[in-house]
Amino acid sequence: MAVTDSLSRAATVLATVLLLSFGSVAASHIEVCTSRFWFNYRHVANTLSVYRSVKRLGIPDSHIVLMLADDMACNPRNPKPATVFSHKNMELNVYGDDVEVDYRSYEVTVENFLRVLTGRIPPSTPRSKRLLSDDRSNILIYMTGHGGNGFLKFQDSEEITNIELADAFEQMWQKRRYNELLFIIDTCQGASMYERFYSPNIMALASSQVGEDSLSHQPDPAIGVHLMDRYTFYVLEFLEEINPASQTNMNDLFQVCPKSLCVSTPGHRTDLFQRDPKNVLITDFFGSVRKVEITTETIKLQQDSEIMESSYKEDQMDEKLMEPLKYAEQLPVAQIIHQKPKLKDWHPPGGFILGLWALIIMVFFKTYGIKHMKFIF
């Protein structure tokens, strides 16, 4: 039943994207959820769980671009508002109070996603909505939602094709916006999305091969929807054991979620990647460790004479003796608080209402007969 449910949901396509970028000096992440509507709760939960793991491993929000296509936590159908659970029995609330969503709701479009990737953003965009990566950043891109053979659906209204994605990565490569890129996708037929990549230093993982569907993990009877997808669930179990100093490598990540657990066959692509996957640490992409050097030199500065210092202090004290600053009157708060409620003038009911009620009463008495009038008057 779970299988058929998710199959039918596979027909509607919503994508959640999570973009994260990491680097040997700085890492960045982009995480995108492209799915809309309440029954695609699990895509938002997928994205938020990956977001949480990544923050736990030390990536700051300034390096994460999180795009969620719909608001599940405050959805009117959510029986537990302000929460998004990723495990049944509501064990883990991945929404928390430090989630910073950069692109939300209708801002998650193919165009915005490609703009973030290629950097062709209007100049007024704030820093938190940009991918600030350079040629030494490792980038992790996590996408989830509904997909098909060669495309991923955004918001149930548009698609991104694998060719557009490959071209976007090529543009990133030409401008050296990444050092290495890890692309993880959890959708149906996810392997089709990485078939067309042609830029160097890209490693890709997908939850299912072409022709297979990715399935969801478990429904929650209290919330009424499926909470997570299988592949992401097992990836997260794997990530829970990673700490910033661990030495696990990519080959272990490829073994996550075999066919017996996932029903679909996860795939990966490493031919474009220069290093051997067994030498690539998980923390290269999922953790962020800055290079640090001890400062051993100082420069010699001349102490200014005491006179200048004391005169400066005098200036400061003079300032303190000035009048305290006041704000101008902005709102007549006192007046507003103590206002009496305004008496509205009474107007007789409008013609339409009168007519409507006349019609209703006429029909009533026509149907049931005039003798019922005596029960009213």
Partner 1 sequence: MAAAGAAATHLEVARGKRAALFFAAVAIVLGLPLWWKTTETYRASLPYSQISGLNALQLRLMVPVTVVFTRESVPLDDQEKLPFTVVHEREIPLKYKMKIKCRFQKAYRRALDHEEEALSSGSVQEAMLDEPQEQAEGSLTVYVISEHSSLLPQDMMSYIGPKRTAVVRGIMHREAFNIIGRRIVQVAQAMSLTEDVLAAALADHLPEDKWSAEKRRPLKSSLGYEITFSLLNPDPKSHDVYWDIEGAVRRYVQPFLNALGAAGNFSVDSQILYYAMLGVNPRFDSASSSYYLDMHSLPHVINPVESRLGSSAASLYPVLNFLLYVPELAHSPLYIQDKDGAPVATNAFHSPRWGGIMVYNVDSKTYNASVLPVRVEVDMVRVMEVFLAQLRLLFGIAQPQLPPKCLLSGPTSEGLMTWELDRLLWARSVENLATATTTLTSLAQLLGKISNIVIKDDVASEVYKAVAAVQKSAEELASGHLASAFVASQEAVTSSELAFFDPSLLHLLYFPDDQKFAIYIPLFLPMAVPILLSLVKIFLETRKSWRKPEKTD
Considering 33, 188, 257, 262, which one is annotated as catalytic? 188
Check if 262 is active-site: no
Considering 29, 63, 87, 146, which one is annotated as catalytic? 146
Binding region for partner 1 (CB under 8 A) out of 12-20, 33-41, 70-78, 291-299: 291-299
Give yes or no for residue 374 binding partner 1 (CB under 8 A). no
Residue 183: beta bridge partners? Answer: 141, 204
- Tell me how far, at minimum, the Cβ of 309 lies from partner 1, in Å: 8
Q: Residue holding tokens 């019609």? A: 359
Q: CA dist 303 to 253, 308, 309, 313, 365, Å?
A: 58, 10, 10, 16, 101
Residues 75-114 touching partner 1, rule: CB under 8 A, are 110-111, 114
Check if 43 is active-site: no
Which CB atom, from 293 or from 329, has the smaller least distance to partner 1?
293
Give yes or no for residue 210 binding partner 1 (CB under 8 A). no
Which CB atom, from 299 or from 321, has the smaller least distance to partner 1?
299
Give yes or no for residue 237 binding partner 1 (CB under 8 A). no
Whether the CB-CB separation of 139 and 19 falls below 8 Å is answered with: yes
Binding region for partner 1 (CB under 8 A) out of 156-164, 203-211, 232-240, 369-377: 156-164
Distance of alpha carbon 31 from alpha carbon 100, whole angstroms: 12
Give yes or no for residue 122 binding partner 1 (CB under 8 A). yes
Q: What number of chain residues touch partner 1 (CB under 8 A)? A: 52
**Of 82, 163, 261, 359, the one binding partner 1 by CB under 8 A:** 163
**Of 11, 294, 321, 343, the one binding partner 1 by CB under 8 A:** 294
Distance of alpha carbon 68 from alpha carbon 225, whole angstroms: 18
Residue 20: beta bridge partners? Answer: 29, 64
Residue 203: beta bridge partners? Answer: 182
Nearest to 68 by CA among 35, 37, 41: 35
Nearest to 166 by CA among 207, 112, 204, 217: 204
Nearest to 55 by CA among 99, 104, 102, 101: 99
Using only C-alpha atoms, the chain has a radius of gyration, in whole angstroms, of: 29
Residues of the shown chain interacting with partner 1 in the complex, contacts defined by CB under 8 A: 25-26, 58-62, 110-111, 114-115, 118-123, 126-128, 134-135, 150, 161, 163-164, 167, 170-171, 174-176, 244, 288-304, 309, 312
Supply the residues annotated as catalytic: 146, 188
